[in-house]
Structure 1
Amino acid sequence: MTRSAVLNVDSQCSFFHSPSWQDTDFPAFQQAISALIAGAQARQIPVVDIFHVEEEGVFSSTSGHVRPMPFLTHAPAARFEKQVHNAFTGTGLDRWLRLHDCQHLVICGIRTEQCCETTARVASDLGYRVTFVTEATLTFPMTHKGITLDVDALRHRTETVLAGRFATPLTVAECLESLT
């Protein structure tokens, strides 16, 4: 039997103080990630918290913001800090997952197309089976060369590039059903 783990990537208070922060999709994200984590814990699946840390600013350890968002009250099985976009490089996460015989990873957190997607890609390259729970990720509109991609476009793009290559995109309900 394949053992699973949920990777909760960057769901931290730092984002409340980030210039990109928008409340628009936060209530839906909060509900979805809470349901995913509660469902995983009810199935005795470990939840691993990953926090992004930088030397300065709202993502620095000294800012006081590198901590779980207040609604996240679960006790993580492990906690790792990262300095890059993926949760593996320089963190010890891969070693922890292998020591705990986890071969299937469920990705959730903040930002959909950045740290969550990058973590999914690296996990796949490391040989893990990856489920990407898009509705339990959060992102914000992005503009490049005068073109703005809204949240729905970014989520669709992420699912499109991950599906069939790096991860299986599922809803919270589909993911939890597959874990039973």
Structure 2
Amino acid sequence: MTATPDLRTARPASPDLLRSVFRQHAAGVAVITARGDDGPVGFTATSLASVSAEPPMISFGVGTGASCWPVISRTEHVGVHVLAERQHELAATFARSGADRFAEPTRWREGPEGIPVLDGVLAWLVCRIVTRVPAGDHRVVLAEVVLGDPAGGGGPPLLYHQGQFTGLRE
């Protein structure tokens, strides 16, 4: 049985309303990486989306206040890593402000275009940034896939739901 929406409890648009609604939306978890002048940068993203098959393109959002934004704002390439359910600690590390994201226990290597490629992920891509679209306090980054590997570490995907990392339930 589905609940009938109660229009009397509707609230005006606000950041809190948006966050509350999207806590109900389960999203896949990815880590975006790039090479900066002072070393690698990266962040956890739940906004990854497939945009186009021809040419193959993806999108993700990044806050302009994020520590990695200065690098993302000017780099030509990024790495996109789809995380497995067992990688919730990796997701938390890349989501944590001020963390040394590439220190142990994070395992990575330099990949094509100098992009940091994380070990053990479900799948990864290297993408060329096509454009960055202003969207409030974020930018939506559109990027064309250059190369990647869909056959990584295996296992179920990591999800983000109700403000926490979780997995699929049967």
TM-score (norm 1): 0.25
Kindly indicate which of the two structures has a greater share of residues assigned to helix: 1
Of structures 1 and 2, the larger Rg is shown by: 2
TM-score (norm 2): 0.26
